[in-house]
Amino acid sequence: MNIPAFGLGTFRLKGQTVIDSVRTALELGYRAIDTAQIHGNEAEVGQAIADSGVPREQVFITTKVWVDHAAKDKLVPSLRESLRKLRTDQVDLTLIHWPAPGSGVPLEETLAALADAKAQGLTRQIGVSNFNIALTQLSIEVLGADAIATNQIELSPYLQNRALATFLHSQGITPTSYMTLAYGKVLKDPVLTAIAAKHGATPAQVALAWALRLGYAVIPSSTKREHLASNLLAQQLRLDDDDMARIVALERNGREVDPEGLAPAWD
């Protein structure tokens, strides 16, 4: 895996809330922070990293290009603006946030612009987000599988998306799981609660450990220090084969994020 297995997500966190979350996470030992242009918090994330005292080279920063900037004459300028907000000369990973089939911009054009951003040194690695198998295959044809660090997709015990995850692994592309806790819905699941009790863990740790064991990167978010610290401990939790089999049975195609006009036809 050429991206960190564990990071902090910042979706829905704004203003002082996101500053506090990032600062606390860095204090606790997080070293990967995930943001996006559409989150409207890149400047606050940049401020928190700059003020943290953690050297920039020790923090892996991911941002995502919004669909409004998909055209070749817009992507690089938009990423330069992201760098300005993030107070850095280069991010570690830049993703196309959504394939946006209705945007009017050919995906090949956006992918080429993303590759150009990498060639210009604005980002160390590139990847995609919310791409199905067909669109990932197209991305591989344009960029080469080796150039695609990750496909960041919704994955949780309730949405296991095994066909896509299996395809990504077959191509050497790391799946990054977002919404791993399904907006908190899985935290009350009786199966996860029972597994957690067996291991002296929390349901959140179980869900995150499930994703990690499957070879996914995870980016859970929280505003509470105790939850940030607890989530980090999921890396030490070792689920056994019986635990994993019980979680497989929780699949319900429980997709939480499916924006019209942005999302592809899911596998």
Residue with tokens 């080469």: 144
Residue pair 179/155 in contact (Cβ under 8 Å)? The answer is: yes
> Cα 202 to chain center, whole Å?
22
**Confidence band, pLDDT 50/70/90 cuts, at residue 1:** low
Residues placed in the known binding site for substrate:
97
pLDDT in tens, 211-248: 999 999 999 999 999 999 999 999 999 999 999 999 99
pLDDT in tens, 169-182: 999 999 999 999 99
CA distance 44 to 14: 8
> Cα 160 to chain center, whole Å?
15
Q: Is 160 helix (H, G, I), strand (E, B) or coil?
A: coil
pLDDT in tens, 7-52: 999 999 999 999 999 999 999 999 999 999 999 999 999 999 999 9
Residues placed in the known binding site:
97
CATH number for the segment(s) 8-248: 3.20.20.100
CA distance 216 to 246: 18
pLDDT in tens, 90-117: 999 999 999 999 889 999 999 999 999 9
Residue with tokens 């859970």: 220
DSSP H helical ranges for the chain: 15-28, 42-52, 72-86, 107-119, 133-143, 162-170, 190-199, 203-213, 225-232, 241-248
Question: Percent of the chain, pLDDT > 70?
Answer: 100
CA distance 155 to 160: 5
Return the pLDDT at 2: 87
The domain locations on the chain are 8-248
- Partnered with residue 61 across adjacent β-strands are 33
Strands in 123-129's sheet, in edge-to-edge order, are 8-9, 32-34, 60-65, 91-96, 123-129, 148-154, 174-178, 217-218
Token pair of 30, please? 């997080």
- Partnered with residue 178 across adjacent β-strands are 154
